[in-house]
Amino acid sequence: MLDVVNLTHTYGSGPDAHRALGGIDLKVSEGELVCVVGPSGCGKSTLLRSIAGLVRPTGGEVRVKGRPVSGTPDDLAVVFQDYSRSLFPWLSVRDNVALPLRRRGLDRAARRAAAAEALAAVSLESAAAKYPWQLSGGMQQRVAIARALAYRPSLLLMDEPFGSVDAQTREDLEDLVLAVRGHHRMTIVLITHDIDESVYVGDRVVVLTRAPAVVAADLRVDLPGPRDQIATRELPAFVHLRAEVSRLVRGRPEFGPEEFNTVPPHTTTSPLVKTPSHLTKE
């Protein structure tokens, strides 16, 4: 579904240049939910924006369904962290959700129907006629998710989607993503700085190093489903994996990209974590 090959990106040039991505390799297969975590400022967002075609990377390649990305791919939607800036305040909730469907060649009635269906999926039918700024933060982010759902992308990117809402709402939204994902069979790449969240939501957790970022580890999450906010988080496997990711993210400051040509050995020795063989560079 998604292939990222040796992706590099540098902002600016000369002495002020900032190398954000130092050669990222990532494969996501159809139907997977992959969480990308990393220290703040490590280039997670740059990675996402490169996949979405919003940033033209300085090196490497992104392929969606085998086709190299140039411009924004047809079949892809993004949920941004800052819902208040990504929803259009001059459009009603319904029109916000229906807007992208123009590209799908639907007529007005069909767009409205699709928007209503997507809003129902996030339990916001009743807010259709309201304006985004009349809703709470969590509700606004649900509108943004509904907009992405209505678009029916095969690949959904989420950039810190729950970073700006309170803890309770956050849990609700995490479960919402798990629910709609099961229902719509989408491939999802979710970027977050929250380690708990990455383990709770993901099928895989990809850990990035500090900028210039490379993949530090790629861990499979083997937790039983359906996941539950309390029970799942109590599982020893969850606790263990969370500690593992945590160690990788902040772990050792001397961690540089050079040390990560191979995945650290302890990730493979852990009984709970299986590194997919195609990702381990020997």
Sign for the CA dihedral angle at 210, 211, 214, 219 comes to positive
CB nearer another protein, residue 76 or residue 119: 76
- Segment lying near another protein (by CB under 8 A), choices 70-78, 169-177, 241-249, 257-265: 70-78
133 binds another protein (CB under 8 A): yes
In 3D, which of 93, 49, 88 has the Cα closest to residue 71? 49
CB nearer another protein, residue 54 or residue 129: 54
Work out how close the CB of 80 gets to another protein at its nearest, in angstroms, rounded to a whole number. 6
From 68, 72, 129, 252, residue interacting with another protein (rule: CB under 8 A): 72
Torsion of CA 85, 86, 92, 96, to 10 degrees: 170
- Segment lying near another protein (by CB under 8 A), choices 21-29, 35-43, 84-92, 119-127: 84-92
Work out how close the CB of 40 gets to another protein at its nearest, in angstroms, rounded to a whole number. 19
In 3D, which of 249, 243, 228, 253 has the Cα closest to residue 273? 243
From 17, 30, 41, 74, residue interacting with another protein (rule: CB under 8 A): 74
Cis omega (within 30 of 0) for bond into 212: yes
Which residues, including other chains, have CB under 8 Å from residue 67's CB and lie 6 or more apart?
Answer: 73
Q: Is 263 left (phi over 0), alpha (psi -120 to 50) or beta?
A: beta
From 54, 120, 129, 239, residue interacting with another protein (rule: CB under 8 A): 54
CB nearer another protein, residue 103 or residue 185: 103
**What DSSP line would sit under 221-237, residue for residue?**
----SS--TTHHHHSHH
CB nearer another protein, residue 88 or residue 266: 88
